[in-house]
Structure 1
Amino acid sequence: MTKKDKAFWPTTHALDAAADQAARAIPPVWPLASSVAVNPYLGQASETLAMVGARLERISGQPVTMPRSWYQQKIASGTINDADLADALAIAPGGRRPANVAALKAAAQVVPPARRAVPTIADLAAAASGIDWPGLIAERFGAWAGGYFDEGQALWAAPRGYGAYAAWRAVATHDLTPEIIGLSGFAAHVSQAPERAADALADAVQQLGLPAAASETYFHQMLMSLSGWSQYARYLLWQAELVGKSDATITDFLSIRLVWETALYNRYAAQIADAWRDAVTVHAAPLAPDADHVVNAILQEAADRAAQRGLAQILSASETNVLTARPALQAAFCIDVRSEVYRRALEAVNPTIQTLGFAGFFGLTASHRRFASDVHELRLPVLLNPGLTTTSGGPADAANDQSSRYKARATRAWG
């Protein structure tokens, strides 16, 4: 780092730590082959709902709770009662919370003003030029990432052996689309960017005058702007850490996104410099929930308590549809939320059908490759690692297996 850079960042380690913190704020998403439900607020599990509301409002402009009108209807109908509101109010942190249930009900009647996210440089450049730069970034990044993460779907696979930043840089230096749209010199800008992702990140924060205090929400915002690609990269880090390793894909993504920001800033600095300084000031301000965030969190807590109370009543009620005779069909399903729709549908079709939940389908935690397949199927719970690897056939079938794979690829390519 240069002396100027150190005025913003005391050590290189501080910058690396900020990038890592932003990466862990992103929830992982599993591929469709092993899809699993993930809490979208996994990266904010240690924070209160009010704080999460303040955080995500700053970086995305989106609320984390329902509209006030939804809570108003629940209160008016009696679904949320005074006891729910009182209990939620009692456990809320002091400070900005309403004084009593009556004040909370009054606050629920007030619709807070719409909030906007702090603009990125891409947003500011779009406003200055009339060009949808955020949309173009998403499109060009997605086009590259689709090839980079290919697992056999593409007929012409992207080269392997490069980290995400290096692979993107090799492609972006020849991508003329941004220049055609209006970002002149983009390919040269990427070519002149540092070769290492960490150096590119340090270079970007210096160019943009970004202090360490602003990095927490700005870096998070940058990764969120890449949508599901950041979540998939977070999944790769999750998987690597399961076996004691690491993966730099998601922090490489942060460097990539910041190279776009610096390119746009250099192009439109004359029009957006003041607005960008204002944005940095907002990002650098301490993050704290305001009164609206606190009220929203309390109302959501009351709604949760009402739902829990209703569920407890259902579970405590005696079961009315108890089979006394041998069921016409008894089917056991994996304990998984995705199986519930099938279980309920079967039981609704015929009351003599009984379904059960079972958690013992995984006898062996194996990674299996079928004959003539390039795909290793993980036949175990998705949060675990395989303990062994199996294949269809044995050593004597290896030559035939390879030949069949080549023939399948040729057929797919040429018909």
Structure 2
Amino acid sequence: MTLLVQAQVAQAARDTVAGWPIASFIATNPLAPHEATRFDDAAAPGTHLTLPVEAYRAAFASGRITRDDLVLALRARGAELRDVPPFTGALAHLTPDDVLIEDMLHADTPPAPAPATPTDPVADLVVPWLAAFLDPDPQWQLPERGRGFYAAWRALATHDPRLSRPARRRLRDAPEQASAAIAACFTAWDTRETDRVALLKAELAALPGWTGYLKWRGEHDGDIDLTEYLAVRLTVRLLLDLPPTEAQP
């Protein structure tokens, strides 16, 4: 079971780009694992690969984008425009480029929906432990740190007042090993074998900054890995009686 869970974690983290620590940060392209994917298909649902229309219009107004730029872009996307004759009327002589550029610059755009700001009780409980483990105060070392992130958290979180007393009692019976803890969560949620990688991937996507850094940390320092992180996240969800993060379609 241990090897199977670790293989599932590795598969779920395949598209995660390792992120350097802030002190020695190196910019990485989050779409690097998708270099062979079409640009329009690379983004996850709910994300955007382009700027809002207003930003492009402001760039045109400032001269950063010129009319010639727009014409070139239009011809690249629709070569058939070259064969469309201009429209000549009593007051105007308009080419297809003119019509489309006017539409891009002045047509009304529907208002963007207000971004949702959901709370994340799992992050609220997990992130402080991550911070204490990864960047310990020189005057105070996290007890049990040498046993690994999941084991240290399991030993100490039974005293965390942010968890209810029943949850803390249940935590005492949680598996001692991270892989076993993940497997126990799968069992509790009756997660099908075919859905487990998608579940893990959704949990990793919940805090992408932390996930990228933990992947880097596991590859370089080796004191924590994504299996331990996921074991804590999933166990916290179970203790809070929350379902796993819903996988994106």
Same fold, TM-score > 0.5, yes or no? yes
Verify the 8 A CA contact 1:213 1:284 in the aligned structure 2.
no
Consecutive unaligned residues in structure 2, runs of 5 or more: 80-95
Indicate yes or no: 2:246 matched with 1:262: no
For 1:276-300, what per-residue CA distance to the aligned partner results, in whole angstroms no more than 9, with x for missing partners? 69x85xx374xxxxxxxxxxxxxxx
Could you tell me how far 1:70 is from its partner in structure 2? 2.7
Distance 1:16 1:104 in 2: 53
Q: 2:72 aligns with which of 74, 83, 93?
A: 83
Matched, 1:173 2:158: yes
Alpha-carbon displacement from aligned partner over 1:228-261 (angstroms, at most 9, x marks no partner): 3322211123326xxxxx7761121112111122
Q: Hey, what's the Cα distance between the residues in 2 that align with 1:17 and 1:43?
A: 18
Shift of 1:26: 2.7
Shift of 1:186: 1.7
Q: Is the 8 A contact 2:150 2:229 kept in 1?
A: yes
> Quick one: which of 64, 67, 70 aligns to 2:52?
67
How many residue pairs are counted as aligned between the two chains? 225
Partner of 2:138: 154
1: CA distance, partners of 2:100 / 2:196: 37
Q: What's the counterpart of residue 164 of structure 1?
A: 149
Say which one has the larger Rg. 1
Q: Which residue of 1 aligns with 2:40?
A: 50
Task: Note the 1:67-216 alignment, pairs <5 A.
Answer: 67-73=52-58, 78=66, 80-87=69-76, 111=110, 114=113, 132=119, 134=120, 136-150=121-135, 153-158=137-142, 159-179=144-164, 184-216=165-197
Which amino acid is the alignment partner of residue 143 of structure 1?
A: P
Matched, 1:24 2:31: no
Higher strand share: 1
**SS of corresponding position for 2:37:** coil
Measured after TM superposition, the shift of residue 213 of structure 1 is 4.9
What is the CA RMSD across the aligned residues, in angstroms?
3.9
Distance of 1:20 and 1:219 partners within structure 2: 10
Identity %: 25
CA drift at 1:63: 2.6
CA displacement, residues 362-409 of structure 1 (integer Å, 9 cap, x when unaligned): xxxxxxxxxxxxxxxxxxxxxxxxxxxxxxxxxxxxxxxxxxxxxxxx
Q: Is the 8 A contact 2:181 2:231 kept in 1?
A: yes
CA distance in 2, matches of 1:194, 1:214: 22
Is 1:223 the equivalent of 2:213? no
What's the CA shift for 1:64? 3.4
**Consecutive unaligned residues in structure 1, runs of 5 or more:** 2-10, 91-99, 124-131, 241-245, 267-275, 286-415
Cα deviations across residues 155-214 of structure 1 (Å, max 9, x unaligned)? Answer: 0112442122112211212212122xxxx5221232222222112112212322434554
2:228 corresponds in structure 1 to 252
2:27 maps to 37
Q: Distance in 1 between matches of 2:12 and 2:18?
A: 13
Separation of aligned partners in 1, 2:166 and 2:71: 62
- Who is 2:84 aligned against? none
Indicate conservation of the 8 Å contact 1:75/1:81, yes or no: no
Do the aligned partners of 2:9 and 2:226 also contact (CA within 8 Å) in 1?
Answer: no
**Counterparts in 2 of 1:28 and 1:203: CA distance versus 1, 3 Å:** same
Pairwise CA distance, 1:219? 2.4
Q: Are the equivalent residues in 1 in contact too, given 2:17–2:32 (CA < 8 A)?
A: yes
Paired letter, 2:14? R
Q: 1:74-127: CA deviations, max 9, x gaps?
A: 56853642222443568xxxxxxxxx988899699654864989x9xxx6xxxx
Alpha-carbon deviations, 1:115-146, whole Å to 9, x = none?
989x9xxx6xxxxxxxx5x1x43233222122
Q: Distance in 1 between matches of 2:239 and 2:127?
A: 18
Q: Which protein, 1 or 2, shows the higher relative CO under an 8 Å CA cutoff with sep ≥ 6?
A: 2
CA distance in 1, matches of 2:161, 2:28: 37
Kept after mapping to 2: 8 A contact 1:147/1:154 = no
Q: Deviations over 1:264-321 (max 9, x none)?
A: 236xxxxxxxxx69x85xx374xxxxxxxxxxxxxxxxxxxxxxxxxxxxxxxxxxxx
